[in-house]
Amino acid sequence: MTVPKTTVLVLDSAEPERLARFYAELLGATAGPAAGDGELLLVTGRTGAVLGVRRDPDHAPPSWPPPEGSQQAHLHILVAAQCLDEAEREAVALGARPVAAEDDGSRPGSRTTLRRYTDPAGHAFLLAAVGEDLAGL
């Protein structure tokens, strides 16, 4: 029998409350302390914990995209294609900084638009426009 588990991606931040609030508002979720762990804030949505934020007073924002073109770990936030512009306005109003935008037509018959940002602590994330059936929206 496997012990029940779950995973959550944890981001470091010098200002974890601010970063947790940013993602909670962007994702329509809530943020609060993890039970039994005073150092970890959890951003929780309809499906449970979706992201953790931990205080690191020495946090240095990652460089993204790196000059070598290699991708670092980053979040993909799936958005219905017709809502991409609105999602972008929300992200920027909350403090996201645009990095670049591109069209990715790599899959035959599909055209996914990706918009790249950094969050207020410098972590990379994408808004990825997909069909409503894929986004679960």
Residue-by-residue pLDDT tens, the chain, 137 positions: 776 667 788 999 999 999 999 999 999 999 999 877 678 899 998 877 789 999 998 888 877 666 665 656 778 888 888 889 999 999 999 999 998 655 444 344 444 588 889 999 999 888 988 776 554 54
90 and 127 part of one domain: yes
Q: Does 3 map to a domain? A: no
C-alpha 5/C-alpha 2 separation (Å) is: 9
Same domain, 81 and 47: no
Give the distance, in angstroms, between the CA of residue 85 and the centroid of all CA atoms in the same chain: 17
Q: Is residue 61 part of a domain?
A: no
Q: Please give the residue range of the domain that contains residue 107.
A: 75-135
For residue 130, give the CATH number of its domain: 3.10.180.10
Residue 48 lies in a domain: yes
- Number of domains into which the chain is organized: 2
Residue 98 forms part of a structural domain: yes
